[in-house]
Amino acid sequence: MRAQVTAAAALLLAGCGSQTVVSSTPWAPGHPDPTGVHFAAAGGLCTITVQYPSDAPGEIDYSGSAYIQRGRGSTPAQPGTKVATSGDWTLYQRDSHTLVLVTASFAYTYNDGANCGSNSAAPT
């Protein structure tokens, strides 16, 4: 019996190393965090409100606040004050509670004030 348990454990460990993990944030490799900004997948309860987690970060941490993705649309004529760039993205601050992330295809709106739980980990 002990030999069977040991063999099963060895098979499980061998199988774990052969699995390929697919990132739930395919945008991450091409868009590193600019200075003072952290792009992440939304954490906690906010994961259910993010509509486009594969296209843009669910959460942007900036200036001591967490901003959660709230919508997507066309790029506004005046998106706000430029904050940072990453790859082909430009991040703007529209007002003290709103960020706009402009990508090649869309503009994503982020609002602060959500209490979703912590997300200090890098995107995966």
pLDDT in tens, 75-117: 999 999 999 999 999 999 999 999 999 999 999 999 997 666 5
- Across the range 27-49, mean pLDDT stands at 92
**Mean pLDDT over each residue of the chain, to the nearest integer:** 81
The gap from C-alpha 13 to its chain's centroid, in whole angstroms, comes to 30
Tell me the pTM: 0.75
Of all residues in the chain, the percent with pLDDT exceeding 70 is 72
pLDDT at 65 over 70: yes
The gap from C-alpha 58 to its chain's centroid, in whole angstroms, comes to 4
pLDDT at 29 over 50: yes
Distance CA 58, CA 46 (A): 8
Residues 116/44, Cβ–Cβ less than 8 Å: yes
Of all residues in the chain, the percent with pLDDT exceeding 90 is 63
Domain chopping of the chain, boundaries: 23-111
